[in-house]
Amino acid sequence: MARFDGQPILISGAGRGLGEGIARHLASEGAIVGVADINQDSAHQVVEAIRAAGGQAHPYGGDLGDRSQFFSVAEAFRYDAAAPLRAVVNNASVLVYEPIEQVTEETLDRMLSAGLKSVFWGVQAFLAYRDEDQPGNILNYSSPVAYRGRPGTGAYTTIKAGIAGLTKVLAGELGPRGIRVNAIAPGSVPTPATEGFVTAEQYEQRAKNIPLRRNGTPEDVAQAAAFLLSDEAAFINGAMLAIDGGIIAAG
Phi, psi of 36 (to 5 degrees): -110, 135
Question: What residues of the chain score a pLDDT lower than 50?
Answer: none
- What's CA 225's distance to the chain center, in Å? 9
Residue 250 pLDDT: 87
CB 112 within 8 A of CB 32: no
Q: Is 156 a catalytic residue?
A: yes
CB 23 within 8 A of CB 91: no
Task: List the chain domain ranges.
Answer: 8-250
Q: What is the CA radius of gyration of the chain?
A: 17
Per-residue model confidence as pLDDT tens digits over 155-193? 999 999 999 999 999 999 999 999 999 999 998 888 877
Pairing type for strands 8-12 and 240-243 reads unpaired
116: Cβ contacts below 8 Å, ≥ 6 apart: 159, 162, 163
pTM equals 0.95
Residue 189 pLDDT: 86
Per-residue model confidence as pLDDT tens digits over 14-25? 999 999 999 999
Among residues 79, 141, 156, 203, which one is catalytic? Answer: 156
Residue 148 pLDDT: 83
Amino acid at 197: F
CB 90 within 8 A of CB 143: no
Hey, which CATH number is domain 8-250, 3.40.50.720, 3.20.20.210, 3.40.50.300, 3.20.10.10? 3.40.50.720
